[in-house]
Amino acid sequence: MGDVKDLKLEPPAAPARERRTSSHDAGRAIDRIIVNLWATIEDLERLQPEESRFFRVTIFGSARITSNDEIYGTVRETAASLARLGCDIVTGGGPGLMAAANEGAKAGDETGRIRSIGLTIELPHLEEGPNPYLDRITAHRTFFSRLHHFVRMSQAFIVFPGGIGTALESFMTWQLVQVGMLKDRPVVFVGPHWRGLLDWMNETMLGGGYVNARDFDLVRIVDDPRDAVAIVAEAKKAFDARRLVRETR
């Protein structure tokens, strides 16, 4: 009898079909939560004023570039020129050309009012951390929420050389302009790095009827970063004029 007293009875294992059903139900519940979450975010977006008080420029570019590369100095000076115009600078907050842009924001800030902003992302197996030139950091766990944040807070976008991440960010922005969800916000690709891609799009996408010719008019491509600054300066001039009208009503 002593042996019987020491027995620990375990509940029978759920049949395989029941386990699959529970997992399936949990997946559906998570999907519903995600849909409801984004519906809430969209509702909150409608509460925001149509235009921000601040003109912010997002600069996309590679995290792999070092401070010894020529393009690093180019991006740094571009961001400094934008800061002198009164533009806050927004990046992914990491190293490479993101650090160059945030460093430029600090260098070009003559008033002490320009913000250097980083929207960072948690990545597995990488411990690079935010760059040291940031006034404000918002940490994201997903690319989806970070992309949404870039778009929500920026009035212009400049795209420097980069890889898959840079292409993803710039193409998402381009698509939002294409479908009319973003208006009066220039998207500027800088340098020959992107010309081959756009040439392929013209030949293959446009040639095959997958895009319209007018879609290419929605973005600009320039070789000289100073031309990108000039495009943003015009957009900021129009932005300031609209803001003045609103404030004097």
pLDDT in tens, 2-15: 444 444 445 555 55
Confidence of residue 248 (pLDDT cuts 50, 70, 90): confident
| pLDDT score of 15 | 58
Confidence of residue 53 (pLDDT cuts 50, 70, 90): confident
pTM of the entire predicted model:
0.82
Confidence of residue 21 (pLDDT cuts 50, 70, 90): low
Res 43 pLDDT > 70? no
pLDDT in tens, 146-168: 998 999 999 999 999 999 999 99
What average pLDDT does this structure show over 23-33? Answer: 72
Which CATH architecture does the domain made up of 54-247 adopt? 3-Layer(aba) Sandwich (3.40)
pLDDT > 90: percent of the chain: 65
Nearest to 186 by CA among 146, 233, 149: 233
pLDDT in tens, 62-115: 999 999 999 999 999 999 999 999 999 999 999 999 999 999 999 999 999 999
So where are the chain's domains? 18-48, 54-247
Q: What is the rounded average pLDDT for all residues in the chain?
A: 86
pLDDT in tens, 175-207: 999 999 899 999 999 999 999 999 999 999 999
Neighbour order of strands in the sheet with 88-91: 136-140, 116-121, 88-91, 56-60, 156-159, 187-190, 220-222
| pLDDT score of 112 | 92
